[in-house]
Structure 1
């Protein structure tokens, strides 16, 4: 079981009903059940092929009484007894489309929403901020030299987040820690590299300089 799935499973509230949207091989629901984090889970995917593999994996663990596979486009066929929804391992725009198709009324039935996008977590934070939802968890996961960030949130009202919080994280800045400081250094190095190749004094350069300032302050 990879570190990313383990970390996301750790974020899930205990004793809930889980829906894993885009479950792929159902590794997350299987782990969450085996660790007694959840009492019941739905492994949901839009594609029949991965869902068949998920079903075989669930049966191999003798968990078909606790994990049900569901062919579903996003929330479309997800049962309403779900407390926690995880959307992980996909791009931001796909995750955003799933969230927006569900709408606030459906999202508000969930006690916990956990979303992990492959790149640009700041876009997800901006989406959450624009909807005045509340970020209550953030987890940085570095695996095979790639950084993943899982964000937990609810539909409870929150004022818009600051630009530095959207870029660098809300809870990650507060927790800091060695991994986060290394993550900040990687962001600073990347921006510095772009700046070195982009000498033009225009709005884009100003934006990059502001981003670099935020990352330096986040440390």
Structure 2
């Protein structure tokens, strides 16, 4: 069964041909085709095991003529027809490495969802020719995941540290506010245990969070 997080990723897919990098069971690729968000999809992975799982999902949904398994390292050797790329279920640093070694073009649309190092990924994207159009947070199995809607077009905006830490153009809904509240709680628990300079930084961050969720 497809998770709440993966369904949220599918909701933002729009194009002709999808590449799901690190596809696992190909749930995203199959769901995107079933919902007619793309006509064709490639379930991509560096290992044969996940592709065997993907093939079972493809067959169970009778999508053998629209979803195809591709054994590849990251985004290497993707067909030219791919115009939407999903990279999810891995850390921000791993996503950076995949993008760093990829052949990119401005028509590509990216949906990225790191499970850690989101701030580092945002900084990488903005400094390497990407624009983050919007973000949203999804709560799934007691964890908050950011989902980033990106294009390979140079960004013309400047962002402060708060945006890099918590989201660029985030949808300010309940999951976003819930994530900010959890971060506020974490920083407050550290106030009495850190040096003065760090405490001042945390107090400023807590104040920014309170303004954001007000």
TM over 0.5: yes
Task: Measure, in 2, the Cα distance between the counterparts of 1:82 and 1:46.
Answer: 18
**Counterpart position of 1:129:** 126
Task: Measure, in 2, the Cα distance between the counterparts of 1:212 and 1:110.
Answer: 39
Structure 1 portions without partners, runs of 5+: none
How far is the alpha carbon of 1:109 from its aligned partner?
4.6
**The one of 154, 176, 180 aligned to 2:176:** 180
> How far does the alpha carbon of each residue in 1:9-51 deviate from its partner, in whole angstroms, 9 at most, with x for none?
00111x4200000001101001111111110000000011111
Task: Measure, in 1, the Cα distance between the counterparts of 2:97 and 2:205.
Answer: 27
Deviates more, 1:93-102 or 1:208-217: 208-217
Task: Measure, in 2, the Cα distance between the counterparts of 1:162 and 1:135.
Answer: 14
How far is the alpha carbon of 1:211 from its aligned partner?
2.9
1:1-219 mapped onto 2 (5 Å cutoff):
1-13=2-14, 15-102=15-102, 106-159=103-156, 160-172=158-170, 175-198=171-194, 200-202=195-197, 204-219=198-213
Task: Measure, in 2, the Cα distance between the counterparts of 1:54 and 1:83.
Answer: 21
> How far does the alpha carbon of each residue in 1:179-219 deviate from its partner, in whole angstroms, 9 at most, with x for none?
22222111100111122332x123x4444334323322322
Larger helix proportion, structure 1 or 2? 1
Deviates more, 1:124-133 or 1:21-30: 124-133
Kept in 1: contact 2:106–2:153 (CA 8 A):
no
Structure 2 portions without partners, runs of 5+: none
Kept in 2: contact 1:168–1:215 (CA 8 A):
no
Task: Measure, in 2, the Cα distance between the counterparts of 1:108 and 1:83.
Answer: 9
Task: Measure, in 2, the Cα distance between the counterparts of 1:196 and 1:64.
Answer: 58
Task: Measure, in 1, the Cα distance between the counterparts of 2:147 and 2:77.
Answer: 24
TM-score calculated relative to the size of structure 2? 0.92
TM-score calculated relative to the size of structure 1? 0.90
Kindly tell me the number of residue pairs found equivalent between the two proteins.
211
> How far does the alpha carbon of each residue in 1:113-161 deviate from its partner, in whole angstroms, 9 at most, with x for none?
1110002322211111222421112121101110001101112121342
What's the C-alpha RMSD, in Å, of the aligned pairs? 1.6
